[in-house]
Amino acid sequence: MRKSPMKKDKNRNNIMAKDPILAKHNKTEKLIKSKNIKDQLFYLFGFLILVAASFILFALISDLFIRGASRLNFDFLTHFPSRKPEAAGILSAWVGSLAVMLVTSSVSLVLGVMTGIYLEEYAPKNIFTFLIELAIVNMAGIPSITFGLMALGIFVYQFNFGQSILTAGLTLGLLVLPIIIVTTREALKSIPNHLREAAYSLGASKYQIVRDHLLPYSSGGILTGMILALSRAVGETAPLITIGALTFIAFLPTPPIQSTPPFVSFEWLWDGFTVLPIQMFNWVSRPQEEFHINAAATGAILLMLTLILNAGAIWLRYKFRKRYHW
Amino acid sequence: MGLLVNEPNAVKAIKADVKNFNFYYGQKQAVKDVNFSVYQNKVTALIGPSGCGKSTLLRSLNRIHDLYKGFKTEGEVILHPEQINILDKSIDPTFVRMRVGMVFQKPNPFPKSIYENVVYGLKIRGLKKRALLEQKCEESLKAAGLWDEVKDRLDQLATGLSGGQQQRLCIARALAVEPDLLLLDEPTSALDPISTSVIEDLVIELKNKVTILIVTHNLQQAARCSDFTAFMYLGELIEFGETNKLFTKPQNVKTENYITGRFG
């Protein structure tokens, strides 16, 4: 029973070899087959790499969460660090992270978006602009600790800002500046020229076009870049250690809102601080095992923060894509 | 056109005069020594094969070329009645664009609401009163023949309209600021035949309000809706005249060949 189809197949091959058109078909068939095999191999290869990468990530995350599980509770968030590991918390660290991020985002958003708009919409194409662009690209590749050294020299010693929230915010702000500039420029580039022409033809000035069209249409891209930049800045440790951030902080910055006039205070900018990754670094370098549990719990919280920020970026991108399409 | 026959000495009001107009992209000359007049409340069509410089000429009239680099213009385009040369570099291009509106080949509404699209030109001219803006919006949309289709959804995104509706919205947007001269750069080339005929009817209707200069690839369109036609070929103005004369008794053999479909 098995033999007859085989025989038939052989016959078919014979006929095909004689007829040039059929032979050509045969060749094409073989080519497609070999392409399909390559396709499937590539698919398999890619899939395996994806599985491996996801597995490592999953293992790391679950390890952090399992180790830190016993400390992941509300008390951990509301207590200051302590010599006793079971009483220690990350209150000063997350408040510090939040305050530093606030300064970082204001500095980098204003500087980055302005630079992006200038380079994309205003700057003439000359050697000066070219050098600025080159500097920005290189800035993205500078090791973060170098930013820390620069900040130590300029902000701490030259401007006497001290080891403060302001210094840290400015340092991280400069660190993520290239990310914001590049995303702003990309967002502006993706706005088609015919929309600019439409606005110009109605008699709008350049400033009006930037304000009424380019900024709103690119806001999704800019915000996405902002969030991605923050999720990088929130995990930075090296430059903050370089400027001399303290590792043991048992107090909170001055509250920004006061009960006495003028009610608003910027005193907190000058306060000492610690941030989540530094707190983590501190605990991990202790010999006691109990502190390592604290470090794992802090890591888990930092990771969740980053994931939330990234999810926010994806959501924003989706929302703005739906609103602004052309 | 009856005007010319009955009153041969009557001076027709001229909206713009193009005088010795030359245009260069770098070294390449795209428009060569063009002279003609755009008559007030008439439709003037610019026809000619691709690359003959008609769009280049049109885009010079509201200084849209100023957004890009590597071009040079010579000659004058005098806008009446003020008699200003709109090509003059000392004249602010924004001032020119405030007077001369433009509708592009591809519909280009802003990704904002229909209402915001129509009133944008008024807003940048400093109009703020909501009631006045709404009234102008309605007038312009009616003039563009779009009011009945969109009056219930003025707050919806303009990008959700059909291509023909988007183009009429762009016309409404240009009309809202009451320009002296409206430039249409192949306004129907991206549209289906029904939307095209709607826009052609609109052009004929609009000439009571505004002087129109239209660039078109479509000869029938020029014949149907224009009063004057300029035929351009390889950057030169070959013939300019009243549309019915140019199409029935062309003076130049190139014009005749083009309109009878022998080339182009």
pLDDT in tens, A154-194: 998 999 888 888 999 999 999 999 999 999 999 999 999 99
Work out the average pLDDT over A132-149.
Answer: 91
Q: Can you give the pLDDT at residue B3? A: 40
Distance (Å) from the alpha carbon of B249 to chain A's nearest alpha carbon: 37
What's the gap in Å between the CA of A212 and the closest CA on chain B?
9
- The amino acid at residue B232 is M
| Closest CA of chain A from B14, distance in Å | 22
Residues A60 and A97 in one domain: no
Query: If interface means Cβ-Cβ distance under 8 Å, which residues of chain A face chain B?
Result: 192, 194-205, 208, 212-213, 217, 323-326
Residue B8, pLDDT score: 39
> Are residue A125 and residue A245 in the same domain, yes or no?
yes
Q: Do B101 and B62 touch, CB atoms closer than 8 A?
A: yes
Give the model's confidence band at A13: pLDDT under 50 very low, under 70 low, under 90 confident, else very high: low
A13, A39, A67 - which closes a domain: A67
* Region B2-259: CATH code: 3.40.50.300
Residues A21 and A152 in one domain: no
pLDDT of residue A17: 64
pLDDT at B50: 85
pLDDT tens-digit map of A218-247:
988 898 889 889 888 988 888 998 888 777
Among all residues of chain A, which has the CA nearest to that of B104?
A: A198
Considering only CB atoms, A208 lies closest to which of B102, B124, B173, namely: B124
Reported as half-sphere exposure (CB side, CA atoms, 13 A), residue A64 has a value of 17
Q: How far is A53 from chain B (nearest CA, A)?
A: 40
Same domain, A33 and A176: no
pLDDT at residue number B2: 39
- The CA distance from A326 to A197, in Å, is 14
pLDDT in tens, B245-258: 888 888 888 888 88
- DSSP states of A13-52: HHHHHHSHHHHHHHHHHHHHHHHHHHHHHHHHHHHHHHHH
Residue A196 has what pLDDT?
93
- Interchain CB distance below 8 Å, A197 and B177: no
Taking phi over 0 as left and psi of -120 to 50 as alpha, with beta for the rest, B48 belongs to left
Q: Which residues of B touch A211 (CB under 8 A)?
A: none
- Domains of chain B, residue spans: 2-259
Interface test with A, best of B59, B63, B112, B170 (most A CBs within 10 A): B112
Q: What would the mean pLDDT of A75-81 be, rounded to a whole number?
A: 83
Same domain assignment for residues A168 and A264: yes
Residue of B nearest to A124 (CA): B69
> Which range has the worst mean pLDDT, A2-11, A144-153, B248-257?
A2-11
Provide the domain count of chain A: 2
Task: Provide the pLDDT for residue A67.
Answer: 86
Cα separation of B246 and A269, whole Å?
A: 77
Which of A16, A43, A67 represents a domain boundary (last residue)? A67
Of B95, B104, B111, the CB nearest to A197: B104
| Cα-based distances in Å from B1 to B39, B43, B226 | 11, 12, 11
- Domain shared by A277 and A236, yes or no: yes
Separation of alpha carbons A242 and A278, rounded Å: 11
Domain boundary among A35, A52, A67: A67
Q: Is the Cβ pair A208, B110 closer than 8 Å?
A: no
Q: What are the backbone angles phi and psi of residue A89, rounded to the nearest 5°?
A: -140, -175
pLDDT band at A106 (very low <50, low <70, confident <90, very high): very high
Q: A40 with A172, same domain?
A: no
Q: B108 contacts in A (CB within 8 Å)? A: 192, 194-195, 197-198, 326
pLDDT of residue A1: 45
| B126-155 residues labelled b (16+ CB within 10 A) or e (exposed) | eeeeeeebeebbbbbbebbbbbebbeeebe
pLDDT of residue B45: 92
Report how far residue B30's alpha carbon sits from residue B22's, in angstroms, rounded to the nearest whole number. 8
Q: In this predicted complex, what is the ipTM?
A: 0.88
Lowest-confidence range among A18-32, A42-56, A219-233?
A: A18-32
Residues of A in contact with B95 (CB under 8 A): 203
**pLDDT band at residue A9 under the 50/70/90 scheme:** low
For residue A124, the distance in angstroms to the closest alpha carbon of chain B comes to 10
Closest-approach residue (CA) in chain A for B60: A201
Q: Do A150 and A59 share a structural domain?
A: no
Of A195, A217, A324, the CB nearest to B108: A195
Q: Which residues of A touch B98 (CB under 8 A)?
A: 203
Same domain for A31 and A96: no
Give the CATH number, domain containing residue A249: 1.10.3720.10
B195-244 pLDDT, tens digit per residue, is 888 889 888 888 888 999 999 988 888 998 899 999 998 888 999 989 98
Domain that holds residue A27: 3-67
Query: For residue A36, is pLDDT > 80?
Result: yes
Cβ atoms of residues B35 and B20 within 8 Å: yes
Q: Are A279 and A168 found together in one domain?
A: yes
| pLDDT band, very low/low/confident/very high, at A209 (cuts 50, 70, 90) | very high
B62, B65, B100, B120: which to substitute to probe chain A, counting the most A Cβ within 10 Å? Answer: B120
For chain B, which residues lie within 8 Å of any Cβ of chain A, measuring from their own Cβ? 62, 64, 67, 93-95, 97-98, 101-102, 104, 106, 108-111, 120-121, 124-125, 157, 159, 170, 173-174, 177
Angstroms from B76 CA to nearest CA on chain A: 20
Phi, psi of A186 (to 5 degrees): -65, -40
The yes-or-no verdict on residue A265 having pLDDT over 90 is no
Give residue B5's pLDDT.
41
Which residue in chain B has the smallest CA separation from A122?
B67
Closest CB to B97 among A196, A200, A323: A200
Give how far A49 is from chain B: nearest CA, Å.
41
Residue B184: which H helix or E strand, with range? strand B181-185
pLDDT at A4 over 70: no
Nearest by CB to A213, from B62, B93, B110: name it.
B110
* Residue A172: predicted pLDDT: 93
Q: Cβ–Cβ of B111/A200 closer than 8 Å?
A: no
Distance CA A59, CA A67 (A): 12
What is the model's pLDDT at position B69? 84
> Same domain, yes or no, for A119 and A266?
yes
Residue numbers in chain B where pLDDT is lower than 50: 1-10
Query: Are residues A200 and B109, on separate chains, in Cβ contact within 8 Å?
Result: no
